[in-house]
Amino acid sequence: MLRAAGVRVALDDFGIGYSSFGRLAELPIDVPKVGKSFISALTRPRTPAHLVRIRRILATLASLSHICNFTTIAEGVETPAALEAVRELGFDQSQGYLHSPAVDAQAFARFLRPRPAPAGGARAAPCVSRAERTVASDEQPVVHP
């Protein structure tokens, strides 16, 4: 019933703890959200060999997700370099402090509220799957292509 209503299910912190590859087959998920520890290793690797290994693992996770028709989200994206890396590796979306700090329910509700069209009749471009949305200090959304 939830799927029929358009609800999608995400598996948080994929690749960490108990969220293993087996869970992808067992649970009715749509979105594996790859844990922050993997993503932070892209910009702070222990060694060059560690960076190569992390990049290969993440590229494989993104490829596997696409084969399974999942949308893949990289958690913990905090720098432009990390964003660039997850895009290169094939992730569909990202989340983290680069886009927005955590916000309370009221701020999030304001973020979702429809806004009037810009002056002059121009219409805002629709948000696409790879667009990042952030909440600026005045809690007005900013869209980055």
CB 5 within 8 A of CB 14: no
Helix axes 36-43, 48-67, angle to 10 degrees: 140
The whole-angstrom separation of Cα 78 and Cα 145 is 17
pLDDT digits (tens, 9 = 90+) for 24-61: 788 888 999 998 988 988 988 899 999 999 999 999 99
Q: What is the DSSP letter of 3?
A: T
pLDDT of residue 125: 37
The whole-angstrom separation of Cα 21 and Cα 79 is 27
pLDDT of residue 94: 94
pLDDT of residue 132: 37
Kindly report the number of other CB atoms within 10 A of residue 38's CB atom.
20
The whole-angstrom separation of Cα 58 and Cα 94 is 13
pLDDT of residue 121: 55
pLDDT of residue 141: 41
pLDDT of residue 133: 39
pLDDT of residue 12: 87
pLDDT of residue 140: 42
Those residues of the chain that have pLDDT short of 70 are 17-20, 118-145
Structural domains of the chain in order of their starting residue, each with its CATH number: 10-94 (3.20.20.450), 105-144 (no CATH)
pLDDT of residue 139: 42
